[in-house]
Amino acid sequence: MKHRINKGSLKTWKDDRGFGFIKPARGGQEVFLHISALKGATRRPRVGDTILYEQVTQPDGKVRAAKASIQGVATRVFSTKKKSSKRGGLETLVSLVILTVTAVFLAIEFSHLLPSITSTTKTECKIKGNISHNTNKKLYHLPGMQDYESTRIDPRRGERWFCTESEAIENGWRKAPN
C-alpha cells in the first residue's frame, strides 16, 4: 500500500498541549496534528511552518496527520536495529576507530584552514596573537601597545585574534613586551 505525502501550512498550534491544525495545500478540511506525529523533529512546530504528513482517517471519521515532519527542519535518525552484545560491541569499536582515523586525517589535511576560520569568526575581537619571526614565540598585543598597529595577523602561520587576555594565555600566548 503506497502512502501519499501531503503538504500543508500549520494554522494553529497549542504548544502547551502539543497539538494544532494543518491547512492542506490542496484544500479541504483542516487536519489534526499531534506532537507525537513529529517523531525525531529537532524543534517544536510553529504557526506558518510547512508540514509534510500522511493523512489518516480514524474510525470516527476524524482526519489526523501521521509520520509528519516540518519542511526544512532536520530530523534525528533513530536506529531500530538490535545489536548482539559481542558482535555489536566489535562493530561499534571498528566504527569508532574508522571515525577517529578519518577525523585525524581531515584535521591534518585541512588544518591550514582552521586558523583562518577562527580569525574570520572573531572579527569583533581586538587582541592580536602574533608569532615572532625571529624567536617563534607566541605573543599577544593589546590595543594601544607600541607594536599593535604595525602587527599583522597571518592565519596561515597559526596567528590569530583573541577576545580576552585569558583566552590568549590559555592557548599558550604570552603578553608582548610593551
In this prediction, residues 121-126 reach a mean pLDDT of: 69
Mean pLDDT of 33-57: 92
CATH number of the domain residue 32 falls in:
2.40.50.140
Q: Is 95 domain-assigned?
A: no
Look at the chain and report how many structural domains it folds into: 2
Q: Is residue 77 part of a domain?
A: no
| DSSP character at residue 77 | -
And the C-alpha cell for 90? 566489535
Q: What is the pLDDT of residues 67-101, one digit of tens each?
A: 999 998 888 776 555 555 555 677 778 888 888 88
**Which of 14, 48, 70 is the last residue before a domain boundary?**
70
What's the mean per-residue pLDDT of the chain? 84
Residue at 164 is within a domain: yes
Range of 59's domain?
Answer: 5-70
User: Within a domain: residue 19?
Assistant: yes
pLDDT score recorded for residue 116: 46
Q: How confident is the model at residue 25 (pLDDT cuts 50, 70, 90)?
A: very high
* Final residue belonging to a domain, choices 70, 90, 121: 70
3-state class percentages of the chain: helix first, strand second, coil last, to nearest 5: 25, 30, 45
Question: What's residue 96's pLDDT?
Answer: 84
Question: How far, in Å, CA of 62 to CA of 159, rounded?
Answer: 64
